Amino acid sequence: MHDLPMEITTSNFDVIVMGGGPAGSSVASILAREGRKVVVFEKEKFPRHHIGESLMTDTYFTFERMGILDKLKQSPFVRKYSVQFANPAGKESRPFYFFEANHHESAVTWQVTRAEFDKLLIEHAEEQGATVYQQTLIKQVLFAGERAIGVEAQMADGSRQTFHAKVVIDATGQTAMLSNKFRWRLRDPKLKKAVLYSYFKGAHREPDLNGGATLVLRTELGSNGWFWYIPLENDITSVGIVADPDYLVKGRGQDLAKIFAEEVAKCEPCRRRVEKAERVDKIYSILDYSYRSKHNAGDGFILIGDAYGFLDPIYSSGVLLALKMAELAADAIHEAFANDDFSAIRLGQFQARLDRGIESMRKLVYAFYNEGFSFSRFLQRYPEQRVNLINLLIGNVFQEGVDEIYGPMSEFAEIPSPLYEQIVAQGLSKANGEATEAPEILAAKYLYYDDRAVPSESVNS
Ligand SMILES: Cc1cc2nc3c(=O)[nH]c(=O)nc-3n(C[C@H](O)[C@H](O)[C@H](O)COP(=O)(O)OP(=O)(O)OC[C@H]3O[C@@H](n4cnc5c(N)ncnc54)[C@H](O)[C@@H]3O)c2cc1C
């Protein structure tokens, strides 16, 4: 029995999207523009706070397909031209300008206040023809046998309704509704971090192009940590520390503001940038694990965005990957309709290609956390790798040959094997969901997917 009014109605759509963050709104915009009948369910009322403010430049191409570029160009969001690093001694690298590797207008991207950005995206999806229900919580996905056929939603007025569609897209972010249900979530054994962050008014801004840079400021040696420093509109700067939980929070009490202030004081490039600024928000805290789902689809459903996987935020890759997955899912869905085939294999055909891109970024994440690793030292020995490195920092991870950098880089840092292989090799299946599939079966699956033509060259256009 439900304790809320029960009103069962059935509405039919081509595609149901659960979650209206960047992944959900983007796939809804694309599909609606391209002729599908789409409905989005979002449990919150936008605008709502969310972390994940610094975009990578390759988001441009998905924004173009969504038809939202002009709105972004007219927005007050700060323009981002580069990323810059500082080592634990406070020595700052020269900025990595994206236009050094990319001569297109896509070399400039945005730093976004997510409350406003996500609202822009979900309203855009509605303008493109998607039906959007906010303050509507998906209670469960409905299955006929193993095939997803719809959802049960708790509507804003408290009633429960069912909706049916050929495809259900899970874009519920870290809730990861379906990969949790099937116990597909694989945690990265080495990437477990604690995060504290807040917002400052009046913090230091460099002049001109550098004013919009993302800064990655390493904290003291042994902490394995770093601060992000992300300039937003209205003179607000997002400042956050990411570090090993044992270092950052264990045994340091409940006073997060005190811990945060202590860490700022210890990080000279951060300290001097915020010393005259006023903190204008609370301290937010997150325990974050990097993870990926073992599968990206089942019969009648697809997982995209953080609902499929989340990678440590060091290079700001989350929204980019969410948008790329939105495009790949849209292409797979069009093909499924064209063939009247909504099987897991058809819908999930892009997983191998997607995983290769995520793995490219994951290798760079591991390099960063390697004690003593420094991009400056690496580039001193291999200056010809600067453009490859910038390509990765742009998010150009799906390009052939982008992995060439990891040969030379392996002289400086441990470069990991793919997550699934690493987990199977380490026998961590119990702690990591059900990683029981043998590696050779996985390899066969990859080969199978590799043989299939991807319908549109939407990734890395
Ligand atoms: C500390 C930190 C820093 C980060 N920094 C960056 C950065 O600088 N740049 C970057 O690109 N990325 C960053 N990320 C990653 C980024 O936040 C995510 O990758 C991105 O938000 C993923 O988008 P999404 O649409 O998949 O999920 P989300 O943005 O989380 O959206 C999911 C939506 O689903 C809704 N939902 C959940 N369950 C239900 C349900 N049952 N019914 C209905 N709705 C539901 C939620 O309310 C939410 O709005 C960071 C992440 C962390 C943790």
Fold of 187-289: D-Amino Acid Oxidase; Chain A, domain 2 (3.30.9)
What pLDDT shows up at residue 425? Answer: 75
Question: Is pLDDT of 82 > 60?
Answer: yes
Tell me, using a 6 A CB cutoff, whether residue 173 lines ligand 1: yes
CA 187 – CA 290 distance, rounded (Å): 6
Enumerate long-range contacts of 446-453, CB under 8 Å, 24 or more apart: 446/352, 448/345, 449/348, 449/349, 449/350, 449/351, 449/352, 449/353, 450/352, 452/349
Q: In terms of residues, how long is the chain?
A: 461
**Chain centroid to CA 461:** 19
Fold of 6-77+112-184+294-347: FAD/NAD(P)-binding domain (3.50.50)
Tell me, using a 6 A CB cutoff, whether residue 171 lines ligand 1: yes
Indicate which residue's Cα is closest to atom 13 of ligand 1: 52
Classified as helix, coil or strand, 342 is coil
336-348: pLDDT as tens digits? 999 999 999 999 9
By most ligand atoms within 8 Å of CB, the mutation choice from 40, 42, 290 for ligand 1 is 42
Q: What is the mean pLDDT of residues 104-119?
A: 97
What pLDDT shows up at residue 221? Answer: 66
Indicate which residue's Cα is closest to atom 27 of ligand 1: 173
CATH 3.30.9.100 domain span(s) along the chain: 187-289
Structure tokens at 13: 């759509």
At 415, the pLDDT band (50, 70, 90 cuts) reads very high
Q: Report CA(174)–ligand 1 centroid distance (Å).
A: 7
Phi, psi of 8 (to 5 degrees): -90, 115
Mode of pairing for the β-strands spanning 6-18 and 301-303: unpaired
**352 close to 398: Cβ distance less than 8 angstroms:** no
Tell me, using a 6 A CB cutoff, whether residue 71 lines ligand 1: no
CA 414 – CA 144 distance, rounded (Å): 46
- Give the predicted TM-score (pTM) of the model: 0.91
At 8, the pLDDT band (50, 70, 90 cuts) reads low
Report which of residues 459 and 87 the model is more confident about: 87
**39 close to 165: Cβ distance less than 8 angstroms:** yes
CATH 3.50.50.60 domain span(s) along the chain: 6-77+112-184+294-347
Which of 126, 143, 217 shows the shortest CA–CA distance to 182? 143
Residues of the chain with pLDDT > 70, as a percent, come to: 90
213-233: pLDDT as tens digits? 999 999 876 667 999 999 999
**107 close to 98: Cβ distance less than 8 angstroms:** yes
